[in-house]
Chain A
C-alpha cells in the first residue's frame, strides 16, 4: 500500500474525486500554479487544467461566496483558505449563507461545498497562523465540521466531504501534515512512513462523516479528542501509565455520541482535550453531553484540557499548547478523583 504524508493524502483525495466527478473544482490563494503554500493541491492544475484548479485573488469572502454560488448551480467546489486564521472575511458566507441555504429555501437551493483550512499551532506562527476555530463552526446549525488526525482518514474524510450534499468545513492540523506529532516538540520529528495510518490505499474510498474511532482501547478513563491532540493523548496515556481509551472523533458535527457515551459508561471517567482555547470550546459541549448521557456512570468530574484563554503567542507557543504533560496531569486527576 502506498505510504503518504497527510499532504499527499489530501492531494490524492482531490485527484480521485476530480477524476470521477467533473463538477468538482478546486481554488484558492496560490492553489493553482504553485499548488498551495502547504502544497496540498500541487499538480492538480497541471493534470486537470486551469478550469478545474485555479488561483484566486486574495479574497476569502470572494472564494467562499463564489463557491456558494457555484455549488448552488450544480458544482462541487472544494476551496482552500490558506490558514484558518484568514477565514474570518469568509465567515459570513459560511455561517449565514452556505450553512442555511438548504433550510431557508426548503431545499430549492443547496450548497454542497467543502472549505479546507489548516489549523493549529506549533510552527511559530503566532496569533495569525495557529488558531483552532472549530467551535466557531460547530456552533453553526447546518455545518458539518471534520478534522482528521492521519493521512488515511484525511483522504477518506475529504472524499466523503466533497461528496457530501451539505457544506463541510474541513480542518487540517498543520502539525500533522508531515508526521504524527505527539506534542514533544523538542524530540526529532517522526514521519508518516513509520506509522500504520500513513498507509493510504490508492483510488476511491471514504471514511464516513460522523463516525468516531477508538485509537487505543482501554478500561481506566476515556479521552475524547481529535486532530493533533489524538497523538498527544496517546503519548500522555503511555507516559502516565494509565489504561486510557482514546477516542478520535474525526467529525465534530454530526457527533458520534454513541461512541463517546459507550466508552464513558465502560470506564466511568472522562478527559476531553483540544488545542483551541478553553472557554466555550468544543470541549464544553462534549463535557455537557457526557454529564447529560452518562452522569450515573461517572466516578469523577469530566476533565478538560485545552489551550489557555489567550491569543496564540509566538515565543511561548509551547506554554500555550496543551502537551502530553498537561494531558497527563488531567488523566491523573481523573483517576485520583
Chain B
C-alpha cells in the first residue's frame, strides 16, 4: 500500500488524542481577590496619540487601559479632558438620575406594575459620558442597557416610564417589552431584543450620512457577549471597507447573563484587539471613569467627524445588578463581586473628582441626591397616573394592527375588525 503525504506528515503525533479548551465553571466562579489580577493601567499612564495617527502605530492602546481619575480624584495624564466643571456636574446628575430611575422602575417590576426591567447600575458613566461628545443629529444604535443616553439627551422621564408601564404615555403603543425604547429626535435608534443586529446598522446609518453629504455620525453599541454574533464581525468589515464615520462601542460589563466575558473572547485577546484585524484603531478604556469616557469619546468622534474612519472602543465596566428581572446572579457569581470591582463606582469617582478640584461638596452631593429622587418620584407619579401594566389602562389594541405596513392591507384591516377594534 502506498504511503500518502498526509501519513508521512503526521507521523507519530497521530496517535496522541486531541483535546479541547472548554471553559468550565472554575474560569468564572472566581473569588473576589482574583479581580485584582486583571490587567489595569494606572491613571495617566497611557499615551494619547493624535487622532490621525496611522492605526498600526496605535495597537498598544487596545491592550492598555485609558484611565484619567486617580484614587484621590485627581485627573492625570494626557487623556485628562479639558471640560468645564458645569459639564461634569451635569454628567454626575445624569448618572444619578439614571440610577434612581433604574431603582424606581425595578421596584415597580417587583410590585407587579410592569412585566420586566433591566438596570444599568454600575455602568452609567459609559452612556452618560459618551453623550457629552454627541451633537444634534448623531444617532446611537444602543443595546437595552444604554438608558443613560436617553437621560443625558433630555428625553422625558415620563416617556420612558410610560414605555415601561405600556400605558397611554408609551410612544410605542404598548408594542415593545419594557426598556426597548425608540426616540429618533433624541438620537436613539429603536431597540431590538435580538443581539448585535444594531451594530452593523450603525455602520449603515453612518454610510448614509456620508453618501448624503451629511455631517452627523453614528455610534454603535454592543455588549461583551454579543461580540460573538456574526453581525459584530459584519459591522467591523463594513466599517473598515468603507471607512464609515462611526464609533463602535463594546460595553464589557464582565457578564453575559451567566457567562463570563472571557468566554466570548476565548480568554485570549481583549475585545478592543478585535479591531486590529480590520485595521480599525481600538481603545480600551476605564468605563467607570467619567473623565476617561468623555475624553475617549471625544477622540473617537473627532476621528469620525474628520473622515478618519471608524474607531472601536472597549469600555471596561461592571454589571453591578442582575442581567434583568428574570435573572438571579447568585447562581453564577460571588455575591460580593460587585462591591469588589477594582474600578470602583462611576458616581462615587466623579463626585470625588469634583470635590478634589474644589467644585463640589458633600453637602451639594446630598442635595443633588435628594433632588434626583424628587424628580424621579414626580415623574413616576405623573406617568403612573396614566396606568400601569398591572392596572390595565393600556393603549387601544387598535394600535396593535398599525405600523405593520405603511398602509394597512385589507387582510389586516379585516383581522382588526374581527378582533373588535
Residues of A within 8 A of B (CB): 29-30, 32-34, 37, 45, 50-51, 54-62, 85-86, 88-89, 124-129, 278-279, 308-311, 313-316, 319-320
Contacts and interface: CB of A to CB of B under 8 A. Distances in A.
B326 interface: yes
Given A29-B259, A124-B177, A314 B228 contact: no
B25 interface: yes
Nearest 9 A-B pairs (CB), nearest first? Answer: A128-B193, A315-B174, A57-B228, A124-B115, A126-B177, A315-B166, A34-B258, A59-B228, A50-B24
A30 B394 CA distance: 34
Interface stretch (B73-81, B131-139, B411-419): B411-419
Contact of A54 (B23, B332, B394): B23
B193 A126 contact: yes
B389 A308 contact: no
28 contacts: A29-B257, A29-B259, A32-B25, A33-B24, A33-B332, A34-B331, A37-B327, A45-B24, A50-B24, A55-B263, A58-B228, A59-B228, A59-B229, A60-B229, A85-B194, A86-B194, A86-B195, A124-B116, A126-B193, A128-B177, A128-B194, A278-B415, A308-B412, A308-B415, A313-B175, A315-B394, A316-B397, A320-B400
Interface in B22-74: 22-25, 28-29
Given A88-B194, A126-B175, A57 B401 contact: no
* Contact size range, B: 35 or more
Contacts of A45: 24-25
Majority secondary structure of chain A interface residues (helix, strand, loop or mixed): loop
B411 A279 contact: yes
A126 B176 contact: yes
B395 A315 contact: yes
Q: Which has the most chain B C-beta neighbours within 10 Å: A58, A125, A127?
A: A58
B226 interface: yes
Contacts of A32: 24-25
Interface in B64-123: 115-116
B10 interface: no
Contacts of A61: 229-230
Contacts of A124: 115-116, 177, 389
A315 B401 contact: no
A89 B22 contact: no
B175 A33 contact: no
Nearest to B402: A310
A33 B258 contact: yes
B193 A58 contact: no
A125 B116 CA distance: 9
B141 interface: no
B275 interface: no
Interface in B343-357: none
Contacts of A60: 229
**Interface majority SS on B: helix, strand, loop or mixed?**
loop
Interface of B: 20, 22-25, 28-29, 115-116, 166, 170, 174-178, 180, 192-196, 225-226, 228-231, 256-259, 263-264, 326-327, 331-332, 389, 394-395, 397, 400-401, 404, 411-412, 415-416, 419, 421
Nearest to A54: B22
Given A34-B258, A50-B24, A124-B116, A58 B230 contact: no
Given A29-B257, A51-B20, A320-B400, A126 B230 contact: no
Nearest to A92: B230
Contacts of A34: 257-259, 331-332
B166 A314 contact: yes
A192 to B, nearest CB: 21
Contacts of B411: 279, 309
Contacts of A126: 175-177, 180, 193
B415 A309 contact: yes
A29 B332 CA distance: 14
A57 B263 contact: yes
A315 B229 contact: no
Contacts of A57: 225, 228, 259, 263-264
B229 A89 contact: yes
Given A58-B225, A309-B412, 19 more contacts: A34-B259, A45-B24, A54-B24, A55-B23, A57-B259, A58-B226, A58-B228, A61-B230, A86-B195, A128-B177, A279-B411, A308-B412, A313-B174, A313-B400, A314-B115, A314-B177, A315-B166, A315-B174, A316-B394
Contacts of A319: 397, 400, 419, 421
Nearest to B409: A309
A60 B405 CA distance: 29
Contact of B174 (A37, A56, A316): A316
Contacts of B327: 37
A30 B258 contact: yes
